[in-house]
Every structure is written in structure tokens, then in C-alpha cells.
């Protein structure tokens, strides 16, 4: 775990509202923004929180430094602490820096290879209105991280780097942009020759041949390249510091070292960091693309300036005509003066409106032609489907294999996309969206299931692993993840084998149990058909015919337990004990569940042509536990559509809670609630899958109603378009307002 303060170099650019907007912006990615937490604020929404913090900062009028502290906490690749651990770490670190009572907003991001937390802290105390800026915060952060790593069992990082501040900035620049820094180039090309120089003239000759120039600045030396890039000499090597060089070569000459002229052996050019693959062709494409972007932007800016100039000229001409008309009008000088003032204000307002519109269009152009660093350009091309750019990202020296809940194999058969791409990291890890709550990450060697390990996500990852690596799959990760993988393999019936003998034995065992259950169900269905009057029934080949005028209404596909009594009577068995589908030993209902509906001589069942089936209250015997029908629908017969299960309701509540928490924090999300039979026009808004449970979303005005459904209903709803009017029957089935029942 690494904690780092991200300073704002220009105080004028310090903006708590802008920082929070950046942190909470999803940027069209489902895997970017995770948990959002607000501390020490009274406001409920994110907009109100920002206003409260800005009001607190305005209470301090003496501080001239940055009033916002941007803290970044990053975990090692593969680490994914739970929400409780993340909250505890955030509180401990802020309290250790002296910001325990300060207002702050923390946001968890998942869109990179390392899970990280951004914390925007208000340096102004909400009560005392004094500013707090910790001295040498990196020391306290290093000690806190070391302590928290041991306490929460996290991987250990080196919090006492031997690099200087300049070296650290150069390394950060290389990692962010992918371009080699001047420090790294000098160390690689000519540092050894510079150390071997025995006089100032020899050192000057070495530096001239490499396009470098040494000059005195302040109390030390700096090295300048041909393109004007500076670096401290002591940052390159301690042997090149001013005291070290003067002790070895004597006093620095007054005229200094000569600037490089004429032909040079080599010189520093901003080139990509050395990858494990040749990127010269890609870099040439990158440079050409940058030049083309600059030219295209210049053309569109010229067109925008011309458009603005023409609009202002037209307004000025109109204003000139208006003033001329006022001049020719009769009236008192005072009235003309008022008319001239109105014309001037109108002209000024229209010019301001044109300037604002032009500024918006200019910002759109800046975003469209935004200059991209080398690594960002590779990401963009990889997202567009350029496999060479993706290979270049994965060939960076910083790239590491995925850890955690992963699937891999010895062979590789395909590298096609798994699903919809959500993002690509600078290490070449492709993040795919899944139908569940989690996501799938692919680094070219392994597939990782991150986030909520739901069954649909694991099934999707297992299918991708089969296509990618073949039938031999290696599973690594937590025990919960391995159990989900085995479950997904058995349910999906994929032709795979696990390299782990224990996992493979468990898969085979569950597969055999599944076959037994399916065979048993098939046998029970055959018995049910036989007992309802088919071949081999109590009539031995005879089929019971109902006489005209009877009250029985057939229900297709519904098991009629009352019909067994009639069959027994038709066969001469008056005892009535020949009930169908008698369970095996150990499967007989317990005493408290006996003598209920199965003991009735007949059941009055009503069949609705466009709905489900339901018992009539008058058809229920008096000797039951409930003598009459209760309003809570306990007497409904759950045959064609079983009642809602606890896991379905829990999934609906979890989805509603997640959406409501984001809505209260400022996201543009409508209110969500569970469907409770409310009246009003309903429109289909889609389906969601939470923890393996299907949910239907129904829109009513500005509110989204969530209704749990079974998987077959979810499959049928795929034929319903978003925004199409639907209705919900009293039995819970969803149908179009005009058309077939869903």
C-alpha cells in the first residue's frame, strides 16, 4: 500500500469542487467509480457537500496557500480489501495527518490495475477556521502505511525510497507518459564517460558529443539538452554534483563549458521507454497523428474565430442602424438618450452571449483535439481494436501478471474479445463488463474476476477461458471463488477439466449428483403423466372421461392433486390412499405440514386465460388450519408462478439500496423502490441481474419500480423494447399493455 500527497502547483487552480467532480465522474465506465464516502459534513447530496466545504474555506481569509489536500492511497495489484477495511484505513490515515475532524470526500476507483482511493480533504478546520498543512507528510504517510499493512495483512511496500525528489518525478513521468526522461537517457548513454573525465575540457568534450551543456545555477550544476530540457547534475549521479566535480577536476572555469555545436554522436530526443517489442513504427504513427491533430485543430479554430467575427459584425451593423433610426426619430433629447442607452446595453448583452457560446465551442474543440501522451495514445488505439498497440502496452517493463481470483491455461487458442470493453489500463489489462456486478480482466496471460464474484460473471469468465485456453483450466483465488467456478462449470455443463485434482474431483461429484437429480425429476414427471390417466394408470389403459356439466376446469401443465382421488374411485379403490408422487423414505412431509391441501377430495381451481391460477375462498374446507382466505394471499396456489423467495427480495433490496445511495450523493439517478402493486402507467425500463436473481425495472413518471422475476420471464422480456408500456397483473406476471402476456 502506498499513500501519496498530490500537490497543486498553482494555487489559483486549487478547486475542491473541480476535484470532487473529477473523482465522481464515471467517464462512461462502469468500473471506474466505486464506494463514495463523505465525512464530517452535514449535507446529504454531493452538490450540497461541495457548497458546504467551499463556504468553510471562505471563512479563512488569511491563508494564501492551497486549501485542498488531495491524498491518494493505492493498493498492490491483486489486492481488493472489503468496504470495512477501506473505511478503517481512510480514517486512520486522515487522523494520522491531523485531518480527523476535517471535511473530506473519499472515492474508490477500480479502472486501473491497482485499486486506489482518492481523498479530497478540506485543510480548513470546520470549527476553528484555521488551516492545517502537515510538515513533510510523506514521512507520516510512510509510517502509517507500514503499520496498516501489518495490521490488515496487506502486502508490504517499500516506504523509504532511496530516490531523490527529482528522480521520483522523472520516474513518475516515465510511468505516466511512457517517454524516457533525460535522467534515464544520460545514465544509459554517457554517464560512464562523464565519470571517467579527468579535466573540465574532457568533460566538456564528452558532453558536446552527446548534445549536452553543463552550467552553473544557484549553488549547483544543471545539465541542459539541445531541446531546452534541464536536470540537476546531482540527480543524474552524486559524482556530478558541484562539490564532487570541483574536488576532482578543480574550480569550475569562469567561462563554463561550451555549448554543443557542429556534428554530434547522439543527442536526447523524447523517445518511448524501451519496450520488449519494437515500437518505432507505432511511435512514428503517434507523431504523425499528433501533427495531424494540431493542423485540424488550427483549421477549426480559424473557422470558429471567423464565425465569431461575422456574428459580432452583424450585431454591430444592426446596432448602427438602430442608432440611426433613433437619431431620425422625433422626441426630446432625454428620450433619445434613454433609447441610445438601451441600444448600447442590447449590443453589449449580445456580444457577451456570442463570447460565451464561442468559449463553449472552443472547449469542445480542446477536448476533441486534446494532446495525448504516448501511453494514452496506445490506450486509445487499443480500445479501437489495434492489437499491435495492445501488445506494446503489455510489453512494458512495468507490466505484471494478474493476481487474485484468476483463470489460466497452458495453451492459447484465441484472443478475441470476451464482451464489451469498459477500459484498458496502461499495462494492457482489458476490463470487460459482465452481466453481473463484477467484471473480467484480461492481461493476455490470465483472466481475473474482480468485484462482486457473482455466478453470471463466473460463467462468462469460464466460457471465455474455455475459448482462450482450451479444456485444461487452472483456478487460483479464494475458496469462495473456487466454489463458484465449480458451480458454474456444473450448471453450464462446459467440457473442461481443472488442473487441481481436488477441484476436479468435486466437479465430477457434483456432476454425478446433478445427473441423479435430473433422472429423478424425469421419473417423477413420467409417474405424474401415468397417474393422470395415461397408459399404466389405475384404469390400466383406460382414460377417465369427465361427464358434461361437471364443474372441473382443466388447467394445462398444472398438477391436479385432487384428480388422484377421482382416479382411485374410478378404479374401485374406495380407501383414497393411492395418492400420486409419494416421496421416498426421508422425503415425507413432517407432521405439521400434513393434512393440508393434499388431503382434499377435490380442489376448485379457476383458470384465467391471461393470468395465473388461484384457489377460490369458498372451495377451502373448514377443517384446515386457516378456515378462510387471508388477504396476504397465503391460499394462492404456487404452481404456474411460485411466490417470491427471500433471496429474490434480498437482491431487489440490495439493488435499490445501491442506486439510492448514489442518487443521494449527487448522481443523476431516478428514485428506485420495490413494486408494491401501485397503479399508474408503467413503462419497461430493462432487466438487471443481481446475485444471480433477475429483476425487472418498471418506470412510472420519474420513479423506477423494481420487481423480482424468474429467469424464464427475464428471457421473454428480452423481446420487449425499452420504453414500451407494460402492466403487472395481480399475480405478478408482466405483460404488454396491448399484446401477449409476459
- What pLDDT sits at residue 269? 83
Residue 543 pLDDT greater than 70, yes or no:
no
Which tens digit of pLDDT belongs to each residue from 564-618? Answer: 444 343 344 444 444 444 445 555 555 555 555 444 444 444 444 444 444 445 5
**3-state SS class at 638:** coil
Query: For residue 235, what pLDDT band results from cuts at 50, 70 and 90?
Result: confident
What value does the mean pLDDT of the chain take? 79
- What pLDDT sits at residue 196? 87
Residue 622 pLDDT greater than 70, yes or no:
no
Query: For residue 692, what pLDDT band results from cuts at 50, 70 and 90?
Result: confident
In angstroms, the CA 138 to CA 143 distance is 9
The grid coordinates of residue 691 equal 446475485
In angstroms, the CA 411 to CA 316 distance is 73
Instruction: Tell me phi and psi for residue 46, to 5 degrees.
Output: -65, -35
**3-state SS class at 546:** coil
Provide the residue count of the chain: 742
- What pLDDT sits at residue 661? 82
429474490: which residue's cell? Answer: 648
> Mean pLDDT throughout 265-270?
82
Residues 6 or more apart in contact with residue 112 via CB below 8 angstroms: 425, 426
Query: For residue 537, what pLDDT band results from cuts at 50, 70 and 90?
Result: very low
Which tens digit of pLDDT belongs to each residue from 405-418? Answer: 889 888 777 777 77
Sign of the alpha-carbon dihedral angle for 257, 263, 265, 271: positive
- What pLDDT sits at residue 641? 42
Query: For residue 148, what pLDDT band results from cuts at 50, 70 and 90?
Result: very high
Percent of the chain with pLDDT over 70: 79
In angstroms, the CA 119 to CA 16 distance is 11
In angstroms, the CA 698 to CA 681 distance is 10
Which tens digit of pLDDT belongs to each residue from 200-213? Answer: 888 888 888 888 88
Which tens digit of pLDDT belongs to each residue from 79-120? Answer: 888 889 999 999 999 999 999 999 999 999 988 888 899 999
230-232 sheet: strands from edge to edge:
212-217, 220-225, 230-232
Which tens digit of pLDDT belongs to each residue from 312-356? Answer: 999 999 999 999 999 888 888 899 899 999 999 999 999 999 999
Amino acid at each position: 500500500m502506498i499513500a501519496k500527497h498530490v500537490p497543486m502547483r498553482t494555487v489559483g487552480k486549487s478547486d475542491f469542487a473541480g476535484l470532487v467532480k473529477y473523482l465522481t465522474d464515471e467517464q462512461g465506465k462502469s468500473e471506474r467509480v466505486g464506494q463514495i464516502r463523505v465525512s464530517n459534513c452535514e449535507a446529504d447530496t454531493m452538490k450540497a457537500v461541495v457548497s458546504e466545504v467551499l463556504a468553510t474555506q471562505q471563512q479563512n481569509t488569511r491563508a494564501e496557500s492551497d486549501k485542498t489536500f488531495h491524498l491518494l492511497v493505492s493498493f498492490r495489484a491483486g489486492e481488493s480489501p472489503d468496504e470495512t477495511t477501506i473505511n478503517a484505513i481512510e480514517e486512520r490515515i486522515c487522523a494520522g495527518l491531523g485531518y480527523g475532524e476535517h471535511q473530506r470526500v473519499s472515492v474508490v476507483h477500480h479502472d486501473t490495475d491497482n485499486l486506489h482511493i482518492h481523498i479530497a480533504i478540506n485543510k480548513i478546520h470546520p470549527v476553528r477556521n484555521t488551516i492545517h498543512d502537515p510538515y513533510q507528510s510523506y514521512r507520516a504517510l510512510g509510517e502509517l502505511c507500514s503499520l496498516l499493512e501489518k495490521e490488515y495483512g496487506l502486502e508490504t511496500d517499500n516506504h523509504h525510497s532511496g530516490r531523490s525528489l527529482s528522480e521520483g518525478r522523472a520516474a513518475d513521468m516515465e510511468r505516466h507518459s511512457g517517454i524516457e526522461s533525460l535522467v534515464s537517457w544520460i545514465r544509459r548513454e554517457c554517464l560512464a564517460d562523464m565519470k571517467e573525465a579527468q579535466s573540465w575540457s574532457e568533460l566538456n568534450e564528452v558532453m558536446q558529443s552527446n548534445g549536452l551543456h553543463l552550467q552553473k545555477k544557484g549553488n549547483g550544476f544543471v545539465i541542459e539538452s539541445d531541446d531546452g530540457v534541464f536536470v540537476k547534475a546531482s540527480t543524474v549521479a552524486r559524482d556530478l554534483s558541484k562539490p564532487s566535480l570541483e574536488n576532482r577536476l578543480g574550480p569550475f572555469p569562469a567561462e563554463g563549458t561550451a555549448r554543443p555545436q557542429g556534428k554530434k554522436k547522439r543527442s536526447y530526443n523524447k523517445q518511448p521507454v524501451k519496450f520488449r517489442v519494437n515500437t518505432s513504427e507505432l511511435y512514428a504513427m503517434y507523431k504523425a497523428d499528433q501533427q495531424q491533430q494540431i493542423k485540424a485543430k488550427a483549421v477549426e479554430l480559424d473557422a470558429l474565430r471567423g464565425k465569431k467575427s461575422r456574428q459580432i459584425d452583424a450585431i454591430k451593423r444592426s446596432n448602427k442602424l438602430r442608432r440611426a433610426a433613433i437619431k431620425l426619430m422625433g422626441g426630446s433629447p432625454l428620450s433619445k438618450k434613454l433609447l441610445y442607452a438601451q441600444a448600447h446595453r442590447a449590443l453589449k448583452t449580445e456580444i457577451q452571449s456570442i463570447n460565451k457560446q464561442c468559449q463553449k465551442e472552443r472547449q469542445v474543440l480542446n477536448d476533441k483535439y486534446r494532446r495525448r501522451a504516448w501511453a494514452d495514445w496506445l490506450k486509445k488505439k487499443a480500445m479501437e481494436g489495434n492489437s499491435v498497440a495492445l501488445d506494446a502496452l503489455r510489453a512494458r517493463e512495468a507490466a505484471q501478471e494478474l493476481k487474485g481470483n484468476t483463470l489460466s491455461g497452458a495453451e492459447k487458442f484465441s484472443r478475441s474479445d470476451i464482451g464489451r470493453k469498459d477500459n484498458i489500463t496502461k499495462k494492457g489489462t482489458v476490463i470487460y463488463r459482465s452481466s453481473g456486478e463484477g467484471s473480467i480482466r484480461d492481461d493476455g496471460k490470465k483472466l481475473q474476476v474482480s468485484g462482486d464474484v457473482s455466478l453470471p460473471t463466473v460463467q462468462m469468465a469460464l466460457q471465455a477461458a474455455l475459448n482462450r485456453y482450451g479444456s485444461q483450466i487452472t483456478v487460483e483465488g479464494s475458496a469462495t471463488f473456487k466454489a463458484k467456478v465449480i458451480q458454474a462449470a456444473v450448471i453450464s455443463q462446459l467440457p473442461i477439466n481443472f488442473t487441481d485434482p481436488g477441484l476436479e474431483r468435486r466437479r465430477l461429484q457434483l456432476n454425478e449428483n446433478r445427473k441423479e437429480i435430473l433422472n429423478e425429476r424425469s421419473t417423477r414427471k413420467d409417474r405424474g403423466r401415468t397417474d393422470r390417466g395415461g397408459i399404466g394408470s389405475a384404469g390400466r389403459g383406460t382414460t377417465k372421461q369427465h361427464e358434461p356439466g361437471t364443474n372441473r376446469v382443466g388447467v394445462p401443465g398444472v398438477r391436479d392433486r385432487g384428480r388422484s382421488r377421482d382416479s382411485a374411485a374410478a378404479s374401485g379403490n374406495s380407501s383414497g390412499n393411492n395418492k400420486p408422487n409419494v416421496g421416498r423414505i426421508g422425503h415425507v412431509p413432517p407432521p405439521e405440514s400434513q393434512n393440508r391441501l393434499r388431503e382434499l377430495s377435490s380442489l376448485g381451481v379457476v383458470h384465467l386465460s391471461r393470468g395465473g391460477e388461484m384457489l377460490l375462498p369458498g372451495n377451502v374446507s373448514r377443517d384446515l388450519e386457516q378456515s378462510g382466505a387471508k388477504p396476504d394471499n397465503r391460499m394462492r396456489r404456487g404452481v404456474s408462478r411460485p411466490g417470491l423467495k427471500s433471496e429474490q427480495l434480498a437482491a431487489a433490496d440490495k439493488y435499490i439500496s445501491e442506486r439510492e445511495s448514489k442518487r443521494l450523493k449527487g448522481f443523476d439517478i431516478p428514485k428506485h423502490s420495490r413494486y408494491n402493486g401501485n397503479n399508474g402507467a408503467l413503462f419497461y425500463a430493462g432487466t438487471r441481474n443481481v446475485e444471480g436473481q433477475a429483476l425487472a425495472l418498471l418506470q412510472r413518471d420519474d420513479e423506477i419500480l423494481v420487481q423480482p422475476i424468474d429467469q424464464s420471464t427475464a428471457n421473454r422480456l428480452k423481446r420487449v423494447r425499452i420504453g414500451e408500456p407494460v402492466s403487472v397483473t395481480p399475480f405478478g406476471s408482466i405483460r404488454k399493455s396491448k399484446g401477449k402476456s409476459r
